[in-house]
Structure 1
Amino acid sequence: MQSTVANVMTTGVSSVTEDTGYKEIAQTLLDQGVSALPVVDARGRVVGVVSEEDLLHKEEFKDTDRDRNYWPPLRARLRSRLTGAGGVLVERSDEKAMATTAAELMTAPAITVKPDAAVVEAARMMERRGVKRLPVVDAHEGLVGMVSRRDLLRVFLQSDDSIAAAVQNEIDYLAGTVKGTDIAAAVDNGTVTLTGTVHHRSTSHTLTRLLNRIEGVVSVDNKLTWESDDLMLPYVGL
């Protein structure tokens, strides 16, 4: 059974409202020991996320007016550009450097995930959207927790015994449906080592794919031997 976001998320997380001021946001980040906070509207719905990076825009650009020789870091200059109509890059003022409230500072709209989403789905969403954390929301977009990349790593902390039990279930099922299987498995620090024999090479490959899907499995060392290589196309002479 795959773990869901609800199994690994952090609950009881702090949030700020759209009108929360810059200093209060910074203080909350420090007090809570987190790098980002969800922003909720008057109805309690998550509308954005404000992070340390959002607040640091002000630091990057604060000397611009005082010192005409000041040149912001490359990442800051890149963020001061956006894509306009037709894909043309156009300049804009660095709004976040002048922002004073969460509504002005936050990244919006919020990229969120539901509690019943699979951990792998959350991981793919983070990778696809380039974010490090996701607010977890209910059916009404209300905040119920936060899940971070670090939280997702918890699925790999399962004991070798629990992984071995799941591996053995797959082997037992295979032995009951495919003839000619004699397989043993050992698990050490999440690595599964397979030994024994199967009739077809394809059976060995299928088992490896199935075991790699088990949560907590780091890798599969397949040392199985086979009697018939049904993956190699037969040679046809001219």
Structure 2
Amino acid sequence: YCMQEWVSGGELFDRIVEKGFYTERDASQLIHQILDAVKYLHDMGIVHRDLKPENLLYYSMEEDSKIMISDFGLSKIEGAGSVMSTACGTPGYVAPEVLAQKPYSKAVDCWSIGVISYILLCGYPPFYDENDAKLFEQILKAEYEFDSPYWDDISDSAKDFICHLMEKDPLKRYTCEQALQHPWICGDTALDKNIHESVSAQIKKNFAKSKWKQAFNATAVVRHMRKLQLGTSLEGPSQITPTSPCHGHLTAGVGAMRAAQIRTA
């Protein structure tokens, strides 16, 4: 038997859309929680490898409920001398080095947090294309913009924070510890202007359940990656996950990890 904690607060996007007031500071506080939790995982040597909004759940229906990280089906223990190179994760949130099938580290989780931060501030993803190959090309080049008018009311500090996490070079990319020290997270640079109308409208448009909960054709993804000549995995076959939630088998809250299955292979 495996005892698991009941998480009843619903998904991150649903809570944001339902709110009548949502600010940059709210987004900063959410990301602070996520960074705390992922830092704990990284300190324990665990890399999640599939961080995305669908895997961020509220513990309860309470207004001040904490965020829980779910679905550790692709997570791995980063052992001394071990190499991770399997192309796994969810299209749109996966780091460039993963798509390039280069050896990678826990920095891939930090990239994903950058993507999540971007979405929380505008309601749409930094990378998008109906054509999978073109989507991967965007990610590999780290090509994204802070488009007007959606980003006009967002602080330069928030944009700087995102740029440090969505840094193409994993060696220059912020760690969770560094991100927690950024003024947008630990200071007072996050703005209090209500951005709910714009963000919620974009979330409903770009992440409607009929779209972001549909199954993703993983076979097609692998085929496109081969066309892009992204190399051969040193760790095993590609594991690009569906965009739908995988009904979390393991959750981690801030300061605590609810253990079930951690992939070690």
Range of TM-score over shorter length: under 0.3
TM-score by length of 2: 0.23
User: Which has the higher relative contact order, 1 or 2, with Cα contacts under 8 A spaced 6 or more apart?
Assistant: 2
TM-score by length of 1: 0.25
The structure with more strand, counted as a fraction of residues: 1
Larger Rg: 1
